[in-house]
């Protein structure tokens, strides 16, 4: 058990106190004072000292003393709290100082207010905020400290779910398996839960039931919408419609075959065949006249293309090598500059002379060192200097040698690249001559290609083709009128066919809607059955909660002497709601329980928490005049009592607690 006792608390310029000392001598104390004398301020100061907040857990509150108008009475004061705390008998001193920051700006005769600073001290040594927090945390964490120092914090500051969490931690939870084992009716839950907790499964069931209700709610609407969308087929007969459709399709097919016969008339087909024969003969004449020359042109064109590609390749190689020479020349210039810089650096380092200034007094005792020690120190310093100087000179020389070597290598590379460029340029010049010669030969071959239109046989066939095409056009013009009449008849039949098919499609649409209605009705039945099954599972989870209530209530209540807890609340629908309400003798904490009972219940809770966490911290009881008798506690108790007769805060120590530490 770590026992924390407030031995002395000093407040200076803090919330109206010029200087106030709360001395406990390691024991319990009563602080008497009229309203406004600073009883709560003492508790605020203790909390602010450790955590930078007041007793209401606020980090922003007024520390300075204000006048009636709400303005600061006096500036440039240090506002501080210092506390001597015994931790298992070892004294630690903490101090927090809140100060105004004033600065005199250039050209101004008056100081200007720039804000605030806070300083921190542990055992008289100034520390950073992070170090201060670490020291406090090493003693006790803030959330646990607030639980153990205020009898009202658990019930009035913590929310219900936070109170439940604390109770579950202190009293130990009960596993789902343990709860199910105590009630055989719950055995079905094992197969239902899978890897979920009962609470998570109940949430899942309720969410699914909500979804089911939403789905079932809209199914009648969907059925009605489907019914209203059914087309009217009362005056239609599906079989008769199909017979009419088949009849019209046959008539359309017959008319289309008649059109085809007109389009492919016999005499027209013969003349079109003659056109194809003429075109074949024309192509044969053209091939005979041009075939040999075109082969030579193609061969020469390939040769020109290859020479052009070879010439372009040599030109690119020359350009690449020229770029490489330019890059090398820039690098040579940079490395020559590095060489000159390193020469200057070498001369500078080489010219450095050893100078030694050694403290002739002993750094430990302050007495003058003997001569031999001073001489030894001088020799060692000079040797260190010479070694360092030699090392630096060697590094500079090595770097200079690398620079010169790189320049030499790059110059050799440029010489080699120039030789390669000259060779490539010679080859390029030769290729350029060959390319011009080959292109000239290609032009000569192209000029020798004969135009077939100048051939008499080719001209006669072309004239015959034109005459046959005129005859075909004449035949087509005469058939065009008949073709248009039949085409209009086909369009009329197809329009009638489309209307009949639309009427017949209504039957398929009706069957589809009726099938959709059956699906909706089946879905409604399945959802209702699923809802009933989920309702049974939800009943099991509620029965689980009731069993858990009984087990947890028995386990938790045995931990406390006075405090009792209601952890569940019956709902109108028969379910249970998680709550955490503290009670004493059947009276809820915040619904009629008097202040004395509230304090004693709070101390009872602190006693259990202190025992569990292994901490005992000072308990501050504000408005302690409402309690005639506090229950026993091992913790230090500081009672803040309203006393109209005491216009200044008066501290009355009880027994000392030093011997118990």
Rounded percentage of the chain residues whose pLDDT exceeds 90: 29
For the chain, the C-alpha Rg in angstroms (whole number) is: 54
Classify each residue of 359-373 as buried b or exposed e, where b means 16 or more C-beta atoms within 10 Å of its C-beta: eeeeeeeeeebeeee
Residues 6+ apart with CB under 8 A from 303: 438
| pLDDT score for 278 | 85
Cβ neighbours of 118 (radius 10 Å): 13
Is the model more confident about 607 or about 507?
607
- Per-residue pLDDT at 535: 85
Which pLDDT score, from 0 to 100, does residue 61 have?
A: 87
From 646, 640, 656, select the one nearest 149 (Cα to Cα): 640
Distance separating alpha carbons of residues 123 and 139, to the nearest angstrom: 14
The region of weakest confidence among 398-402, 460-464, 574-578 is 574-578
Lowest mean pLDDT among 75-79, 470-474, 538-542: 470-474
Which pLDDT score is estimated for 657? 39
- Residues 480 and 466: their CA atoms lie apart, in Å, by 21
The full DSSP string for 207-273 is: HHHHHHHHHHHHHHHHHHHHHHTPPP-TT--HHHHHHHHHHHHHHHHHHHHHHHHHHT-HHHHHHHH
* Averaged pLDDT, 607-623: 91
Highest-pLDDT range among 263-267, 347-351, 477-481, 596-600: 596-600
Q: What is the pLDDT of residue 617?
A: 92
- The answer to whether the CB of 620 falls within 8 A of the CB of 149 is yes
Q: Which pLDDT score is estimated for 67?
A: 81
Quick: pLDDT tens for 497-540.
898 888 888 888 888 988 988 898 898 898 899 888 888 888 88
pLDDT given for residue 317 in this prediction: 92
Helices 595-613 and 142-149 meet at what angle, rounded to 10? 140
- Whole-angstrom CA distances from 148 to 84, 634, 654 are 18, 12, 21
Question: What pLDDT is attached to residue 195?
Answer: 76
Least confident residue range of 154-158, 325-329, 486-490: 486-490
Residue-level pLDDT at 656 = 44
- The model's pLDDT over 382-395, given as tens digits with 9 standing for 90+, comes to 888 889 889 988 99
**96 burial type by CB count under 10 A (0-12 exposed, 13-18 middle, 19+ buried):** buried
Range from 81-85, 226-230, 551-555 carrying the lowest mean pLDDT: 551-555
Q: Which tens digit of pLDDT belongs to each residue from 79-133?
A: 999 999 999 999 999 999 999 998 888 777 788 888 899 999 999 999 999 999 9
How far is the C-alpha of 183 from the C-alpha of 539, rounded, in Å? 14
Structural contact between residues 566 and 581, judged by C-beta atoms closer than 8 angstroms: yes
pLDDT at 606: 94
CA distance 656 to 446: 126
Lowest average pLDDT, out of 171-175, 529-533, 609-613, goes to 171-175
Give CA 184 to chain center in angstroms: 46
């Amino acid at each position: 058990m770590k026992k924390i006792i407030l031995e002395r608390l000093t407040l200076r310029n803090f919330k109206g106190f010029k200087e106030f000392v709360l001395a406990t001598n390691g024991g319990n104390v009563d602080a008497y004072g009229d309203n406004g004398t600073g009883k709560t301020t003492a508790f605020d100061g203790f909390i602010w000292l450790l955590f930078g907040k007041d007793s209401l857990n606020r980090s922003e509150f007024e520390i300075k003393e204000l006048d009636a108008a709400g303005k600061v009475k006096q500036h440039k004061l240090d506002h501080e709290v210092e506390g001597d705390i015994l931790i298992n008998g070892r004294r630690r001193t903490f101090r927090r100082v809140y100060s105004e920051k004033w600065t005199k700006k250039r050209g101004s005769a008056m100081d200007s207010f720039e804000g605030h600073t806070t300083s921190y001290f542990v055992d008289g040594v100034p520390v950073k905020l992070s170090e201060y927090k670490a020291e406090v945390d090493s003693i006790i964490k803030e959330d646990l400290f607030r639980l153990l120092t205020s009898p009202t914090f658990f019930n009035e500051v913590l929310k219900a779910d936070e109170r439940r969490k604390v109770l579950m931690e202190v009293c130990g939870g009960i596993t789902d398996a343990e709860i199910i084992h105590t009630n055989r009716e719950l055995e079905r839950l094992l197969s239902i839960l899978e890897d979920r907790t009962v609470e998570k499964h109940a949430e899942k069931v309720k969410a699914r039931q909500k979804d089911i209700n939403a789905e079932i709610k809209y199914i009648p609407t969907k059925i009605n919408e489907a019914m209203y969308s059914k087309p009217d087929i009362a005056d239609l007969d599906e079989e008769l419609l199909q017979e009419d459709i088949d009849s019209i399709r046959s008539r359309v097919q017959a008319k289309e075959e008649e059109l085809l016969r007109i389009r492919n008339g016999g005499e027209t087909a013969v003349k079109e065949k003659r056109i194809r024969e003429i075109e074949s003969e024309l192509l044969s004449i053209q091939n005979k006249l041009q075939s040999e020359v075109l082969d030579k042109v193609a061969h020469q064109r390939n040769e020109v293309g290859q020479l052009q590609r070879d010439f372009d390749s040599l030109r690119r190689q020359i350009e690449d090598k020229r770029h490489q020479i330019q890059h090398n020349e820039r690098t040579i210039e940079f490395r020559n500059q590095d060489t000159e810089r390193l020469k200057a650096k070498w001369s500078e380092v080489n010219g450095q002379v050893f100078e030694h200034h050694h403290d002739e007094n002993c750094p430990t005792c302050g007495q003058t060192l003997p001569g031999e020690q001073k001489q030894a120190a001088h020799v060692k310093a000079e040797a260190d200097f010479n070694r360092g100087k030699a090392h630096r000179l060697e590094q500079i020389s090595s770097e200079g040698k690398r620079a010169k070597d790189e320049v030499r290598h790059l110059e050799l590379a440029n010489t080699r690249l120039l030789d390669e460029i000259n060779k490539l340029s010679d080859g390029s010049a030769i290729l350029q001559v060959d390319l011009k010669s080959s292109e000239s030969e290609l032009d000569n071959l192209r000029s020798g290609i004969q135009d077939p239109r100048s051939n008499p046989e080719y001209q006669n066939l072309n004239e015959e083709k034109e005459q046959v095409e005129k005859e075909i056009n004449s035949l087509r013009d005469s058939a065009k009128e008949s073709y248009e009449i039949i085409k209009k008849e086909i369009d009329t039949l197809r329009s009638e066919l489309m209307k009949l098919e639309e009427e017949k499609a209504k039957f398929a649409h009706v069957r589809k809607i009726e099938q959709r209605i059956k699906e909706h009705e089946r879905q409604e039945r399945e959802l209702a059955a699923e809802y009933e099954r989920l309702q049974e599972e939800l009943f099991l989870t509620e029965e689980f909660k009731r069993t858990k209530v009984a087990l947890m209530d028995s386990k938790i209540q045995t931990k406390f002497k006075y405090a009792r807890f209601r952890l569940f609340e019956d709902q109108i629908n028969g379910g249970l709601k998680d709550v955490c309400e503290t009670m004493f003798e059947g009276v809820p904490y915040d619904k009629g329980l008097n202040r004395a009972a509230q304090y004693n219940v709070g101390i009872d809770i602190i006693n259990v928490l202190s025992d569990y966490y292994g901490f005992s911290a000072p308990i501050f009881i504000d408005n302690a005049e409402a309690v005639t008798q506090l229950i026993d506690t091992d913790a230090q108790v500081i009672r803040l009592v309203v006393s109209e007769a005491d216009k200044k805060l008066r501290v009355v120590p009880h027994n000392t607690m030093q011997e118990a530490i």
